[in-house]
Amino acid sequence: MSIGGPVHGTWEPLPAVRWEDGYLSGNGRHGALVFGDADNDRVVVTHHTLVRPNGGEHARPPQLADQLADLQDRLLAGDITAAESFTDGRELQWVQPFHPAFQVRLRGGGPTGDRRDYRRSVDFTTGVVEAGCEGWRSRVFVSRADDVIVQYVSGGSGGPGIPGLTLDIDLDHRLPGAPAELGVGQSVVRTPEGALLTLRARYPDSDRAYTGVTLVVPTGGATTLTPPGVRVEGAEFVLLLTRVVRHVGELDTADIAHALRELLPDADDEQPPSRQTYDRLLARHTPLHRTAYDRVTLDLAADEAERALPGAELLTRTKSPALLERLFAAGRYHLLSASGMLPPRLVGLWTGDWDTAWAGAFTNDANVNLQTASAALGALPEVTEALASLIHGQLDDWRENARTVFGARGVMAPAHTDGESGLTYHFSREYPLHLWTAGADWLLKPLVDHDETRGEQDARTAQALAEVALFYEDFLTRTDADGHLVVVPSYSPENRPANASWGTINAAMDLSAARHALLTAAKYHPERADRWRALADRLPPHRINADGALAEWVWPGLDDTYDHRHLSHLYGVWPLDEINPYDTPDLAAAAYRALQLRGAENDSAHGHLHHALIAARLRDGERVTQALGQVLDGDFFHASLMSAHYPERDVYNADAAHTLPAVLIEALIQSTPDRLVLLPALPAACPTGRLRGVRTRFGAEVDLDWGPGRGRAVVRPTRTHRIDLRTSSGARTLDLVAGEDRVLDLGPR
C-alpha cells in the first residue's frame, strides 16, 4: 500500500465473521477467500471448473428449426403471443451451479490469549492477503506463475525464541448449502516434508467429482497425523500448498502431490524450506500480477486521513474521493484475480456457499460484458483473453445452437453458461432466452475493442465474426412493407413490450447487433465486405417513439416498458459507437430521453452502472454521479470490497465491483478508432485527479490530469493516425505520429 497517494489495498481491524467479508485472492483458475482468524482461520478454496451436475451437463438446445417459418408468419401477421409456443415443452433447466470446494481450517495458532494489535489486509499489487497479531501471522496468495494456493503461517516475526505454532489442520467440505449426499473421502499421509491432506468429493448421482490436495510443510516442531487432518506443534513456520481438480471418474493424486513437492527447494538448501518456498513462489508470481495491475492508476487527490481508514469505515464516506480511489483499485484487483482460464462469473471467482444465486453462472446478456467493460481501455488484456477463452472454447456449441434452433449456419451464443457448455437450453416462457440473437456480437465486441487498441486483428476473432455474419445471412430472410429486413423472432433481454409478449419483432438491440456484426465482419474480411455491407444496409433504422425516446422495439405498435433493470435497447450508445452526440445528434437525443425514462426496477447494481456507462457516452456527468450514488449510498459493498447484487449487501455478486472502474474511465476518457473524448462526464466526486495509462482504440496511451478550471493530457501514440479530438472547449483535428508524445492543454472547463 502506498503512502501519500491512493491506497492500493484495504484493511480491517478484525477478522471476517461472514464469508462475504473475507479478503480475496485468485489467479483466474484457483480462488481463495480468507477469514484471517488467529484462533480458527479458514481459507475457502474455489476453482472456475467447480460446477455441480444438475442435468444441465446433458441438456441440448431445442430442435425448433422446422417451426421457425410458421412462427415468423404468425408474428408478422400480428399474433403477439406466438413466440410463447416456440418451445419443445421442457421445464426450465438451469446451468450447473458454481460452488466452493472446501475450506482449509487452521485451529490454534501462536500463544493463546489477548490478540493485541490485530490487523488484516490485502495488497492489490501482489494479491497477498495478510493477517496478524501478537504471536501469529498469516499470509495467503494464489500464484499466477505456479497455479497454487500458498498459505504461510508464522509465530509473530518468525525469529528465534518466538514460541512455536500449534495448529490443527484439516480440509473441511462442510460449507453452507453443501449437499448431504456429497460422497466425501479424506486421507492424510506423512511425507518427508510433513504431511499430505487429500479430500475427494463425488457429486450425488454422478460420475463427476473433485479432489483437493494440500501439502503441509512445517519448519521445526513435531508433526502428528490426526486423520483426516494433521497436528503441528512447536513449529516456527508452516507452509501449505493447495490445488483442486475437477474430474470424471477416479483420479490418481500422485501426480498432484508430486507437482506440489516439486515446488519445494532442494533438501540441502540452507534456508528453512517453508520460508524459502514462500519467498520464491511470491517472487515468481508478483511480476505477472503487479505488471497487469499497475498499468492503470487513478488518483483523485483524496484526503490522506480518509485514505488511511479501514475499508468498512471508508464505505460510510459515500461522497469521498478516497472511496472511489479504493473501489477503482479494488475493482481492477478483483477483476484481474477472477480472470484467467475464464472471465469472472456473477460471483467473480469466489463463494463460501453452495447456493449461489442464478447458479453463479456467466450471464451473457448483460453481466459478463459489464464486468469486463474496463478490460481494453483499462489495459487488462489478461481479462480479454479470459473472455476469448470462454468464447472460442464454446464455438462448436454456438454452431449447434444456430443450426438446431434456427436452421442457420454460423453461430448463436447462449444467454447463460456454466463455463462447460455453450449450448442454449436455459429458457422459459418469461425468459425466452433462446430467441436472443444479439449475443454473439455482444460478446465479441470486447475482443474487437482489444484488437483496435493493439492495432492487430486476432485470427480467432476474425473467424468468429465471419460465422456471426453467416448466421445473419441465413436468418435475415423476412422483409417489411418498405423492403427492410426484419429480425423475427426478436428478444430484448430481459424485458417485454407493454402490450405484447416477450418474443417479438425488431428489438433495438438485435438490430444494432446485426448491423454491427455485419459491418465489423466486413472490416476483418474485405473479400466478403460488399455482401455483408449490403445486408447491413437493408436493416431498418431505429425508431423514436411518441415520448421522443429511442424505442426498445422498432416494429410499429409495440409500446415501451420503461421500468426495467436492463438497458439493452441502448446497445448502440454503449458499448457500440452507432449512436453518439457527434455523428448522430438526433438519435443521441432520443437515446438520452430513453435513459431519462428508464426506471431502476429492482435496484440491481448492474442496472445502475449500465445506466452510468450510457450516461457517460451521452456526456451527462450529473447522471453518472447519480447512478454511482445509487450504488455507493445503497450499501452494495462488503468489507472485502466485493459487492452485492441488491442494496444492503443482499446477494453476493461481482457486477458493481468489476464494473465501477469502467464507469470512471468512460466518464474521464473515451475513444473510438478515430476519436478521443476527454472529460466528457466528470462525476461530482472527482473535481481533481490524475488517470494514468488508459489505452485508446486508435492505438495510444493517455495520461490525464484535471482540476477546477484546468486540464492536461499526454497522448502517447503507437500508430500514426488522424483523429477527432473532443473536449469541453470544442472539437479539432489531431494528427498523431507513432512514437511522438502530444501534450494537450484542455483549457478552462
Task: Write out pLDDT tens, residues 535-561.
Answer: 999 999 999 999 999 999 999 999 999
Looking at residue 1, its pLDDT comes to: 46
Mean pLDDT of 378-384: 98
Which carries the bigger pLDDT value, residue 24 or residue 157?
24
Rounded-to-integer distance, Cα 623 and Cα 613, Å? 10
**How many C-beta atoms lie closer than 10 Å to residue 670's C-beta?**
25
Rounded-to-integer distance, Cα 658 and Cα 643, Å? 9
Q: Which amino acid is at 738?
A: A
β-pairing, 675-678 vs 721-727, is parallel
Looking at residue 3, its pLDDT comes to: 47
| Rounded (10°) angle between helices 655-668 and 605-617 | 10
Quickly state the pLDDT bin for 490 (edges 50, 70, 90). Answer: very high
Looking at residue 4, its pLDDT comes to: 66
Edge to edge, the sheet with strand 222-226 lists 23-26, 30-34, 40-47, 102-109, 165-172, 229-235, 222-226
* Residue 249, Cβ density class (10 Å: 0-12 exposed, 13-18 middle, ≥19 buried): exposed
Nearest one of 116, 104, 105, 108 to 13, comparing CA atoms: 116
Q: What are phi and psi of 735, to 5 degrees?
A: -95, 120
3-state secondary structure of 268: coil
**β-bridge mates for residue 644, sequence order:** 652
**How many C-beta atoms lie closer than 10 Å to residue 324's C-beta?**
25
Tell me: pLDDT of 163 over 80.
Answer: no
Rounded-to-integer distance, Cα 365 and Cα 745, Å? 40
**How many C-beta atoms lie closer than 10 Å to residue 80's C-beta?**
17
**How many C-beta atoms lie closer than 10 Å to residue 190's C-beta?**
12
Mean pLDDT of 622-648: 98
Looking at residue 663, its pLDDT comes to: 98
Tell how far CA 219 is from the center of its chain. 39
Mean pLDDT of 445-467: 98
Mean pLDDT of 359-383: 98
3-state secondary structure of 132: strand
Rounded-to-integer distance, Cα 715 and Cα 628, Å? 28
- How far separated are the first and last CA of the chain, in Å rounded? 33
Mean pLDDT of 423-433: 96
In the numeric block, which cell numbers belong to residue 532? 455483408
Rounded-to-integer distance, Cα 662 and Cα 378, Å? 8
231: enclosing H helix or E strand: strand 229-235
Tell me: pLDDT of 252 over 50.
Answer: yes
167: enclosing H helix or E strand: strand 165-172
Looking at residue 116, its pLDDT comes to: 78
pLDDT tens-digit series, residues 56-81:
999 999 999 999 999 999 999 999 99
Q: In sequence order, what are the residues at sequence separation of 6 or more whose Cβ sits closer than 8 angstroms to the Cβ of residue 54?
A: 94, 96, 97
3-state SS of the chain: helix, strand, coil percent to 5? 30, 25, 45
Rounded-to-integer distance, Cα 487 and Cα 17, Å? 51
pLDDT tens-digit series, residues 470-489:
999 999 999 999 999 999 99
Nearest one of 646, 607, 653, 648 to 626, comparing CA atoms: 607
pLDDT tens-digit series, residues 220-231:
999 999 999 999
Mean pLDDT of 436-462: 98
Quickly state the pLDDT bin for 6 (edges 50, 70, 90). Answer: confident
Rounded-to-integer distance, Cα 298 and Cα 689, Å? 7
Tell me: pLDDT of 112 over 90.
Answer: no
β-pairing, 229-235 vs 195-202, is unpaired
Beta carbons of 211 and 185 less than 8 angstroms apart: no
Tell me: pLDDT of 358 over 50.
Answer: yes
**β-bridge mates for residue 650, sequence order:** 646
Residues in the chain: 749
Q: Percent of the chain beyond pLDDT 90?
A: 94
Kindly list the structural domains of the chain, giving each domain's residue range(s) and its CATH number in brackets, ordered by start. 9-51+99-294 (2.70.98.50)
pLDDT tens-digit series, residues 307-354:
999 999 999 999 999 999 999 999 999 999 999 999 999 999 999 999
Quickly state the pLDDT bin for 158 (edges 50, 70, 90). Answer: very low
Rounded-to-integer distance, Cα 505 and Cα 492, Å? 10
Q: What are phi and psi of 46, to 5 degrees?
A: -130, 165
Looking at residue 157, its pLDDT comes to: 46
Nearest one of 748, 675, 676 to 712, comparing CA atoms: 748
Mean pLDDT of 687-710: 97
**How many C-beta atoms lie closer than 10 Å to residue 458's C-beta?**
18
Tell me: pLDDT of 48 over 60.
Answer: yes
Looking at residue 266, its pLDDT comes to: 74
Rounded-to-integer distance, Cα 554 and Cα 542, Å? 6
Nearest one of 84, 85, 76 to 501, comparing CA atoms: 84
Looking at residue 554, its pLDDT comes to: 97
Looking at residue 111, its pLDDT comes to: 57
Rounded-to-integer distance, Cα 687 and Cα 708, Å? 6
Q: What are phi and psi of 31, to 5 degrees?
A: -130, 155
Angle at 744 between CA 614 and CA 712, to 5 degrees: 70
Q: What is the 3-state secondary structure (H, E, C) of 709-749?
A: CEEEEEEEECCCEEEEEEECCEEEEEEECCCCCEEEECCCC
Nearest one of 374, 326, 378, 337 to 8, comparing CA atoms: 326
Mean pLDDT of 83-98: 97
In the numeric block, which cell numbers belong to residue 466? 465471419
Rounded-to-integer distance, Cα 136 and Cα 119, Å? 11
Q: What is the largest CA-CA distance in the chain?
A: 89
Beta carbons of 412 and 406 less than 8 angstroms apart: yes
**How many C-beta atoms lie closer than 10 Å to residue 55's C-beta?**
13
3-state secondary structure of 546: coil
Nearest one of 317, 309, 305 to 685, comparing CA atoms: 317
- Torsion, CA 486, CA 491, CA 493, CA 494, rounded to 10: 150
Looking at residue 271, its pLDDT comes to: 55
Q: Which amino acid is at 133?
A: C
Quickly state the pLDDT bin for 130 (edges 50, 70, 90). Answer: very high
